[in-house]
Every structure is written in C-alpha cells, then in structure tokens.
Amino acid sequence: MTTRKTLGLATAASILALSGAWANEINIAREMDANNYDPHKTTALAAAEILFMLGDTLVSIEPDMQTLSPALATSWEVSADGLTYTFKLRDDVKFCDGRPMTAEDVVYSFNRWLDPATASPVKWRAGEVESITAPDATTVVYKLKAPFSELLYQLTQSFATVIDRNQVEALGQDFGIQGMNGTGPYCWESWNPRDRLTMTKHAGYAWGPAFYENKGEAQIDRLVWQVVPEENTRTIALMTDQTQITQYIPYIALEQMKVAPNLNVVQSDSAFWTYFIGFKIDHPSVADPAVRRAINMAIDQDALARDQFFGGVQGARSYISFETKDWDPSVEAELPKYDPAAANALLDEAGWVAGPDGIRVKDGVRLAPIGYFFTGSTWQKLSEYTQAELRKIGVDLQVEIFDATVAWGKMATQEFDAFGMSYPYVSAGDALNLYFPSTNIPTPNRMNWKDPETDQWLSEGKAALDDATRAGAYSKVLHKVHDANVWLPLIHEPRTIVSSKRLAPIVPHSNYGAALYKGLDLKLVE
C-alpha cells in the first residue's frame, strides 16, 4: 500500500509538473457556489468566503470570535448614549482598480445596504440608522435611532464590505456577477457560476486586520475557487493534490486525512455554527412541551457527532455553543439529558399512548410531525438519524427534503411542524435576535415563538450600554427558550481546514463560517 502510494504520488507529481499550471497558484475546493457576490444581496456562506477576500470591513474580528480588531478603521469611539459611532479610517487604502478609498465610499456602501430599493435581506444587521455621514475623508459618523449593542460585531460581517460606487453604477444588475471591485487582499478575475471563481493578488495591499501576522500583500498570486459538490470527489481530489485546500471535508475522511503524509488538518477550537431542528410550538403534534422535552431526551447528540460525523463536530445540547459571546453557563445544568427510557416515561405520563404501529397518539393527534429539511449529505444524515431515534420513543418524524432555493420559500409557510436549519452567529444576541422576536414570525421565527417577555429582554439586550446588562438580558432569553425546548439542537460545527503540506497550516477562522477569512496567511512552503 505505502510503496504503491509513494509510487503513485511520484507519478502524480511528475504529471502535475508536466502540466505546468503551478506557479504560485492554488485551488480551493468548496461545496457550492453563491447566487451572486453583491454583499447586500446574498446571505450565502459561499458569498461571504469570497467577499472577505475581495473586500474589507471597517472592523474585523479575531479567530476567538470575541475580540474586535482594527481593519479599514484604525479606531472608533462610541458615545455615552450608545447612539453615535465615530470611525477613523486609514488613508492608504486603494480599490483593486487603483482608486483611493475614502470615507465617502464607506458612506455610499452603508447607505446602499439600507436603501429600500436595494431590498437587502440583511438590512436589519445594520441597526436602526438615523444617518451615516463623512465629515472628512477619513472619518465616518454612524448615528443610530436606538442603541444597538451588536453593531460593531455586525460590521465585521461581509454585508458591511466597502464597495465601489462607480462599478455599482456601471454594472447595474450585473454588479457582483460580472465583477466586484473591492479593497481586499485579492481582486476579482473571473467567475463562471457553479464552476469556478478566480482571483489574483491585490498588489500593494497593506491594510489587513491587525491580528494577521502577515501585514502586507497576500502571498499567493492566484486563487481558484472550484465548486465540487461531490464529497467523494473533494476528498480524493485533496488526497491526489488536485486541490490544495478546503473547509468542506467529508467527516468520514478526517481520520484518514490526519494521518495522510501529504495533508494538514487543523480544526478551530470552538464552533460558531449550529444545526438544529425547530418546532412550530402551536402545531398539535409538537405543541405539548412534554413532547418537545421527550424529543430532546431521545437524541444522543454525542453519539450522533461520533458516529455520523466521525468526531468532526461537537454534539450540541444548547442553541449556541458554550464558547459564544454572552452564553450563560448556568443554562447548561438545565438542559435535557439523553435518556430514552425517561423520554418514554414522560410521554406515557403526558397521556400519549402508543398505537398498533408503535406511534403515539393522544386525542386523535398522532405524533407524526412533518419536518422540512434541506438537500445535501449533512441534513440527510441528521434527519435520518433523528427519524430513526425518535421512532424509538413512538414519534414518527416525516422527513421531506427540499433544495435550498425552494426550501426557504417552503419554510416561510405554516404547512410543516418541524424544520431543519443551520446558522452562523457571532454572539448570543446575534442568534437570539434573529430567531426569537415575535416580529420575526413567520420567518426566521418559524417556531411561532410569541412571548412578550422574550421581546422585552431582547430589546433590553439590544439597547444595553454595558456588557453586564446585555449579557444579563440575553441570559434570561437563553433560559426561557431552552426550558421550553423550542428547538432540538443537534451539532455544533467547528471549522476544519484540510490543506496540502505544500501550504503552511492555517488556523480556521469562524466568521460567518468563512474559514479562510482574508486569506492573508495562505502561503506555499518549500
């Protein structure tokens, strides 16, 4: 095996050398493409990955997902009432086309984000804005109508990327499709949708986030982002050096990749991306809190993580990972524990009686909730595993699978009882304010969670002027929603990067799941 492999690798190396495409270029494999690369018109992770490299934000976040780091803004000040943010910008920043970037560009970008004509799906992330102005070329004043304690964290997201007005106006509808001129470490070369996007080094780049070791230009001349939806193909492409780096690893392959002589595997310490199944709490089959609690007790998330994902993920019992900013450790003790016998007893006690087919019934309601899920191997594993485990407590989960584009529309309706979803977050507030305000019914609050107390605490948290108040308010929400078992959390997914040994090992970043983040540490070793 080993001799053959070495022989094979030698052959591969010679053939690859023959092909001659290997100057200072690397191929990055990923699972899917984005719909477009206009920061205001897409929420896809696949878009964020690219936008972080093509453009920059005022503020950046360190890999710990807690510490803010200067980026385009060298410093910022927040007024005592939490309403005015004043950013001081660098004066040496240039767009890829060579034009210097000024505060006007920042103001234009933010205003376009907020403009109703843009119809941005992520407008809420900018807060309730009063005005955004540029008193001089290196100062931006961001005025809010109400305090928004999340703002700086939201401004680290790809939606807050500074864009080029001239290009937006020139390309019109094709902005983010035919090009996206940013200030980032790499520049747009070409995009063939569903196939590949290529980018080249931004010469003269020197304004990367402060936490990167590399303070200068990117160290790779050309990046090719290739879409490879097949897990098996991605795996062996990596092992045979057809691609050099990816964060879309089939978990089954992780162990083998860790021992492969030509690969590095680096996993982030903590996860900021969670998969869960949410319940419509006013639908008969999942309205009973006892049912939802029993469901939460029927799943052994650690076994799920170990067996289905081969230890590449963490079993999740909470809705956000324990390392998340503003997570309250006191919630942990109250979380339901895996105990199918107790789950069965709980259901018996609540009056749910098993019918002839083993499925429980009460007052004519069958415990057969309809669940809507996305296509793809991860949800296939999660939904099938949950389906099989729930059957053991007499719950017959109906799995219906939809492609991502249809699923969003389907999941905005009331026609299902449960839904599978996964999401990235930077903080407890980010997660809770997305899913639990009653104003977000029917989507993204698909659970129909309508609770005045929650709404009250969420606005307290948003308006908080200090850390303790904010954390306190969110803690109350965390206690309440976990106690109601509104979700069935499944796994927390850390970012894992597998890369060729020809590249220096890279510590994955977790910002919106874009593990390579700015790509400034991508480097070939000789």
Partner 1 sequence: MSVTDTIAPAADEAPARRHWLAALMRDPAAALAITVFLLIALAAILAPWLAPHDPAESTRNMMLPPAWAERGSAEFPLGTDGQGRDILSRLLHGTRLTLLIGLVAVVLGGGIGSLLGLLAAFYSRLDPWIMRTADVMLSFPAILLGLALVAVMGAGVTPVILALAVATIPDSARIARSVAVGVMKQEFVEAGRALGLPDRMLFTRYLLRNCISSIMIFMSLRFGQVILLGSALSFLGLGARPPASELGMMASQGRDFMLFAPHIAIIPSLAIFVIVLTANVAGDALRDVLDPRMRS
Partner 2 sequence: MISALVNRLLLSIPVLIGVVIFGFLLIKMAPGDPAQIMAGPTATPEVVAQIRQQMGLDQPLIVQLGRYAERLMQGDLGRSLISNRPVLSELAAAVGPTVELMIASLIWAVPLGIAMGTIAAVRRGSWLDRGIMAVSVAGVSLPIFFIALVLMQFLGVTLQILPFMGRGGPLWTIEGLRHLVIPALSLGLIFVGPVARMTRSSVLEVLRLDHVRTARAKGLTERRVILRHALRNALIPVVTLIGLQAGYLLGGAVVTETIFSYPGIGRLAVGAILSSDFPLAQGTILVLALGFIIINMIVDMLYAVLDPRAQKS
β 487-500/245-246 pair status: antiparallel
Which three-class secondary structure state does DSSP give residue 279? strand
Residues 357-396 that bind partner 2 (CB under 8 A): 375
Closest CB 447 distance from partner 1, rounded Å: 24
Using CB under 8 A, pick the residue from 149, 156, 183, 235 that binds partner 1.
235
β 186-192/139-144 pair status: unpaired
Site string for partner 1, 324-363 (x = CB under 8 A): ----------------------------------------
Which among 15-23, 62-70, 353-361, 448-456 is the span making contact with partner 2, rule CB under 8 A? Answer: 15-23
Q: Does 307 bind partner 1 (CB under 8 A)?
A: yes
C-beta separation of 190 from 198 below 8 A? yes
If contact means CB under 5 to 8 A according to the sort of partner, which of partner 1, partner 2, none does residue 311 touch?
none
Beta-strand runs (E) in 324-468: 353-354, 360-362, 365-366, 370-374, 398-402, 418-424
Phi and psi (nearest 5°) for 135? -60, -35
If contact means CB under 5 to 8 A according to the sort of partner, which of partner 1, partner 2, none does residue 19 touch?
partner 2
Residues 249-278 that bind partner 1 (CB under 8 A): 250, 252-253, 256
Q: Does 413 bind partner 1 (CB under 8 A)?
A: no
Query: Residues 6 or more apart from 332 whose CB is under 8 A from it?
Result: 317, 318, 322
Q: Does 193 bind partner 2 (CB under 8 A)?
A: yes
The rounded distance, in Å, linking the Cα atoms of 511 and 513 is 5
The secondary structure of 245-273, three-state, reads: EECCCCHHHHHHHHHCCCEEEEEEEEEEE
Query: Residues 6 or more apart from 330 whose CB is under 8 A from it?
Result: 475, 479
Site string for partner 1, 389-408 (x = CB under 8 A): x---------xxxx------
Which among 128-136, 178-186, 378-386, 480-488 is the span making contact with partner 1, rule CB under 8 A? Answer: 378-386
Q: Does 43 bind partner 1 (CB under 8 A)?
A: no
Nearer to partner 2, 131 or 192 (CB): 192
Length of the chain: 526
Q: Is the peptide bond preceding residue 444 cis, with omega within 30 degrees of 0?
A: yes
Using CB under 8 A, pick the residue from 27, 321, 344, 383 that binds partner 1.
383
Nearer to partner 2, 18 or 80 (CB): 18
Amino acid at 214: N
Which among 86-94, 235-243, 270-278, 480-488 is the span making contact with partner 1, rule CB under 8 A? Answer: 235-243
Which among 188-196, 300-308, 354-362, 483-491 is the span making contact with partner 2, rule CB under 8 A? Answer: 188-196
First to last CA, the chain: 27
The rounded distance, in Å, linking the Cα atoms of 338 and 296 is 7
Residues that bind partner 2 (CB under 8 A): 4, 8-9, 11-12, 15, 19, 21, 29, 35-36, 119, 121, 173-174, 177, 192-196, 226-230, 232-233, 236-237, 239-240, 242-243, 375, 403-406, 408-412, 443-444
